[in-house]
Every structure is written in C-alpha cells, then in structure tokens.
Structure 1
Amino acid sequence: MTLRSAYDDLPAEASAPAATDPALVDEALDLLSSRPLVVLTGAGLSTDSGIPDYRGPGAPVRAPMTYQEFVATPEAQQRYWARSHLGWQRMGRALPNDGHRALARLDPELLITQNVDGLHEAAGSRRVVALHGRVSEVVCLSCRTTSSRADLERELDALNPGWLERHGWAETRPDGDVDLDDTADFVVPRCGCGGPLKPHVVFFGENVPPERVARCYAAVEALGTEGALLVAGSSLTVMSGLRFVKRAAAGGTPVVVVNRGSTRGDALATYKLEVGCSEFLTRLAARGAGAHPLSGSPA
C-alpha cells in the first residue's frame, strides 16, 4: 500500500479502507512489527477493563463538565465531586486488560495516552505521556499542591456517610463520574490553604501542558519514514490527539488506526482497521514489534 507523505493536499473524502479483511490486518501487522513505534491510545482501549468510552458505537451522547463550569461556582464543584466519588468506585478498581499488557511488552518509543485511568502505568509501560493527566491525583487550584486521590476518597467517605449505598446504582461515565442530579447535600473538603480541589486532569476547555505536547511532537517527528504511528481506540475527535496524526502524515510516517467506528484521522491513515484493540495489540506483541528502536530517540 502506498504511504502518504503529506496530509494538507488530501481530498476531504480520501481515506484508507476500513478493514476487517484478515489479509489487510496481516499487512498492517507486518508493517508495524518491522518499525520503531509511537503509539497513541484513547478510551476504546480501556473498554475491555470495564470503563465506558464517549464515542464508540452505541455510546450515548454525553456532555462532560467543562473547566469553566467547574471553577464558576462551589455548587458546580459539589456536583462534580458527588458524581466523581461514585464513579471512582469503578474507575479506581479497574485493572489493565490484554491490550494494556501487550503495549507494555511492545515498549514503544513513546506511548501517548488520552486516557486518565493510569492503566498503562499499572500494566508496566515505561515511557508514557498521560496527555490529559491522571485521575489518581488531585490538585489545589489555589496553591497548586498535588495530593493522592485515594486519600481524598477516604475523606469523602468520612464526610458523606451512606452516600455510596444510596447512590451506587448510578451509571458510570468514561471520565469517572456518573449520571446523578441529587447532589445538594454532598460535602466537599478543601485544600489546607482553603482553595478548591480538582482532579489533576485536563478538563474540556483547558489546554494540555505545552511540555507534554512538545515531547510527543518530538517523538513523532523522530520516527521519520522508518517508523510508524499506531492509533489504538481513539476516534481522534479532539485536536489533542489528532495533531500527532497530522504531524506524522506530514513527515511521511505511516499511520495505522485501530478503532471500531470512523475517526477524524481516517483520511491520513495508511491502514484503518475495524478490529478490537486488545486482540490486535496482543497479536502485534507476539510478533516482537517494538524491537527496532530509533538511534537517538528523544523519548
């Protein structure tokens, strides 16, 4: 299959064929197993761990709280933490799945994840950029002190006895909160300095820290035409992930997208595969991919 060397002159309708054909899947595996890799993962990779995604086939329309909403009023923060405290009961107990473990074995030049669940690190991946942060950490918006989410959860339990028992039926959302409207009596602690606490993750309406973006760009650019970018389980709907696909395609780096459903990067993909992430990554790891490091890699 011809590799595309630029993205800005592609017609809007151009795209790699969405493949379930075993022969095309094997072609993509052959390409990836012979090259240094950077991997970009999204919520679709964690669905096998019981964490729902936002945009997969059949996923309901969701409207997560934005950063602007969160900081606007104490009531918004109360609503967020009341829901998130319930959602943590699933998110905080989730375990890595076969896809996470396969990526740990692959040990790519850099693993860029849009997920905040920490499952790549739990699986043993070494070189990870958590693009949107980790939900296991909490930050004070006044003094910027970070602390453990597990410690905060224990405090929330103590301040809100019976809350989990009364509302544990609520449906978990992908970012770790739930669908719940009755939150007016929930008690939220504050930092020792008196400031409001927020999960140490990038909300909608916030920017990804520039140093994270720079590290990811450097790793993608270092691939050149001899490496490959693998996207697993992301619809690439938001620019925080799509920009790396664009950068790879502009530099002549082949791009393989593994995702059930269309993505905004399909037009830039050398292969677009409609197969399960865990199954595909397990097969890729079995071929010994990732054993072709770049000399002088910035990752």
Structure 2
Amino acid sequence: MAKAGILYPGRSLNHNFLIALGRPADQLPRIFRQHYAGDESRLRADFDAFIGEIRQEIDAVTPHTVVMSGENLWHARNNEADRHRQLLASLATDVTIVAYVRRPADYYLSMIQQGMKASHQISRLRPIEYRNTIETLAGFGAKLEVHEYDVGSFPDGDISLDFARRYAPEAAGPLKKVTLRKRTNESMSAELMEIAREYRAHTHESQPNVFTKETKVLLRTLRNLDSGRRPKLKPEIADTLNHGAPDLLWLRNTHGVTFEGIDYDRIAEIPSSEPERIADICIVDQERKEGLVYEAIHAIVGGMTKDRPDLGYNFTTLFRPGTGGRRQGRGGRKKF
C-alpha cells in the first residue's frame, strides 16, 4: 500500500494502544492493564516509543493517506477527545474518523465472545449504547463518518476491503492479498463459550479479566475441534436487544444508519439483567458440549504425552517374564 501512497504504520495489526493516551495504567482495557500492572513509567515510555515509530514511518514514506485502526477506541471517554484530536492533528492535516457499527444483537454476541477469553462473567443484557461513544469519537477529528457493519455487503465479507473501497480504492488490490492470506476464524461457538465459562469459574473465579496461558491453550484446542461453528443468540434474546436500544433512533436520525429487520416503532429501553450461563442467552447443544470436553482432554493430554515417554507406562517393568500377568511388589506377589 505504501507504493500507492497509503501507509498503515506500526508493527502490529492494529493501533489499539492509542487508548493509552493519557489514561492511567489501571484503567486501560484488560490486556494492557494486565501487561503493565500499574507501572506508569513503563507505560508512558512504551507509548512514546509507539508514537515515535509512527512519526518516523510517516516521515520516511511521506504518504498522502495514513490509516490507523483500533476497536479499543470505541471505549474512549469524553475527557480524552481533546488529547486524541491534538495527537492526530500532529500526524496529519486532514483527519477523518470512520466508525462501523453493528446491530445490537450482533454487537452483544461479539462482546460476550471476547469476554469468555479471560473471564467467566457474562456481559449484562442491557441497551446497547451508540450516541455517547460516537459523539466522543467526533471530537477526535474534523470529520466523522458512520457506516453499518454488515459482513454480507462487504467485498469478500471483509471490513478492511470495504474501507478501502470507500476511502482508498488504489489499496484494494494489495490489501486483498494480505487479508486473504491472514484471515482467521476467531469465532467461538456457544458450546465452546460455555466450556470456557465453566472452566474459568472453577479455576479462576477470583481472577475475572485476567488472561492465562492454560486458558489460551484450552481455547485454541477447542477452536481446532470446533472450527467453523458460529454461536446464535436465542431468537427472543436477539429480538429484545435489537428493539431495546433507544440510541438506534438517534443513529438513524443523525447519521442515516439503519439495520434491516428492526421495527423502529417498537424500540424501547430494556431493563438490565445478568445471565448466569451461556445457555441462558444462546442455543447450546449440551450433547455436543460434553463431547467437546472429552475431545479437548484427549487432544491436550495426547499432546503432553506424545514426546514424553516418561509419562507413559513401562510395560517391560509392569509385566516381567514369568510373573503370569502379575507384578512384583514389596509385599510379595500381587495380582494386577
């Protein structure tokens, strides 16, 4: 893309670290909060280096367009907008903020999938908010554009290609090659989420929102066994969420964004509630869930013992010649 005058700076796949601008370490999103563990000096040093590398790359490439992305910015606060505006204005002369928004039920389903990666707590059922966040993001730049997040309408079902189509057509070709090569399915089925929730509740109940290595191994194993299966909210839950967000009216009237299948005359705020199990909100196949548990145990234990002969049985020792299928013990002959 740089050859086309478009730069996506930095070494990572996103710019979520922008959320750390001026925010204390103990108030960051969980992955950064866990990484820095309250170390403000290290956080500030890393953030300065992060921005410094972006500046250097812009100076070296001199692109006509710089693209940065970060879903964590959806959680930016009103009092942070001025700092972000100043930072972005120091990187580019014309700043446009682009926000893609999901329908409420889809947003909620995505949110609980993310939550299960490091917690047993399920996000509350509540009205999905759009207005406060979008008005905060509007303060980041001179212009704001809002679009529906609709995979079915995206080229090849890819949001990055839709962005390129709208804002950087000359980058669509190179970007398509990259996205097709790197695309992965990170979806978690309802059965997988319930297993993860139960595991975290039993092993890390006192550590919600803390990532652990063994949870990562479990999720990777389950994804390999359950690849391609996507979760579905119960129809009544999806309907409640889709018609329980008054901000949808503001979104339609202010930005012209509407979602197919929603009856805007029915929209009314819903009371908050806390699901205890994934099965309370999603369609869960209990038989498949139980089967996945044993398949995961088999896969993990099999992987542990594959290159560890010391963890297996030494049958030469257990069945010594002449014992007739019995093994020797300290107290004499014992049946095996």
TM-score, shorter chain, exceeding 0.5: no
- Structure ranking higher in helix proportion: 2
Q: Which has the higher contact order (CA 8 A, sep 6+)?
A: 1
Which TM-score tier does this pair reach, normalised by the shorter chain? Answer: under 0.3
Larger strand proportion of the pair:
1
Bigger-Rg structure (1/2): 2
